[in-house]
A = this chain, B = another copy of it.
Amino acid sequence: MTGRHGNKVVGSVAEALAPLTDGMTILCGGFGLSGNPEALIRGVIERGVRDLTLVSNNAGNLGKGLAQWLRAGILRKVICSYIGNNDELHTRMASGEVAVEITPQGTLAERMRAAGAGIPAFYTPTGVGTVVEHGKETKEIDGKRYLLERALPGDVALVRAHTSDRFGNLRFWRTARNFNPVMASAAKLSIVECDHLVNNGAIDPDDVHCAGIYVHRIVHVPEHENAFEYRTVRKRP
């Protein structure tokens, strides 16, 4: 056995993604186009792996983000909570090219939290009496009915952080946090793309959002598009 927490910083996206293979389950952080690991998303296409199962809340939109994976034809299955106007996904779901499993957003997050926390399954009220119940065990607890949901682990997590130290302690910016930390915890191999790379000790121990125990590779990517999905503003008074 070798420790997995030695030198984690790699020099390029390609090096970070070298362990990927065909057929893997990839957890990809982001909500809409916010908090997306943009360089890693592009890098997976260049890496040339295929038949991937993608777990992501939205799987891209407006042709951006993970919509690139759909266009590249490298996905076999998508597990997400929301499709909305993601036409790349609608088209491929309709044609049967990509299987789509739609999961309530909170259940999606909790299934990955459970995977990271060693909880193989949990009961939840979400989805009781709906199509989400189909094929699942139910149980009455204190007079109320619940569904049994299973942990959702990944082979690889692609994570976008605002700041990482060299051990992989992460900080996120505002709502770019979303699924990123929980996905980091749920994968065998977690790869972080950070805007800022700092030395150990630069982040106060009390200010760490996601501990480096959940991070295995770090690549520093200073430039990002950070696309707007809906730019809503008010006039200055």
A-side interface residues toward B, CB under 8 Å?
110, 114, 117-125, 139, 141-142, 144, 146, 150, 171-174, 177, 205-207, 209
Which residues of chain B are within 8 angstroms of A144 by Cβ–Cβ distance? 120
A141–B122 contact, CB under 8 A? no
Among B110, B120, B142, point to the contact of A123 (Cβ < 8 A): B120
Q: Which residue of B lies closest to A121 (CB)?
A: B123
Most B Cβ at <10 Å: residue of A117, A122, A125: A122
- A114 partner residues in chain B, CB cutoff 8 A: 122
B121 close to A141 (CB less than 8 A): yes
Q: Which residues of B contact A122 (CB under 8 A)?
A: 114, 119, 121-123
A144–B207 Cα distance when bound, in Å, is 37
In the complex, what distance in Å separates the CA atom of A105 from the CA atom of B15?
40
Distance in Å: Cβ of A119 to nearest Cβ of chain B: 5
Q: Which of A120, A144, A209 lies at the interface centre, i.e. has the most chain B CB atoms within 10 A of its CB?
A: A120
**One of B118, B120, B142, B177 near A120 (C-beta < 8 A):** B142
Known: A118-B124, A119-B122. A206 touches B171 (CB 8 A): yes
In the complex the two chains form, is B119's CB within 8 Å of A110's CB?
yes
**Complex Cα gap A206–B210 (Å):** 12
Enumerate chain B residues within 8 angstroms of A146, measured Cβ to Cβ: 120-121
Most buried by B among A124, A171, A174, A205: A124
Complex CA–CA separation, A173 to B206 (angstroms)? 7
| Beta-carbon contact of A117 and B123 below 8 Å | no
Residues of B within 8 A of A205 (CB): 174
Other A-B pairs, 20, CB within 8 Å; known A120-B123, A120-B142, A122-B122: A110-B117, A110-B119, A118-B124, A118-B125, A119-B123, A119-B124, A120-B125, A120-B141, A120-B144, A121-B122, A121-B123, A121-B139, A121-B141, A121-B146, A141-B150, A173-B206, A174-B206, A177-B206, A206-B209, A207-B207
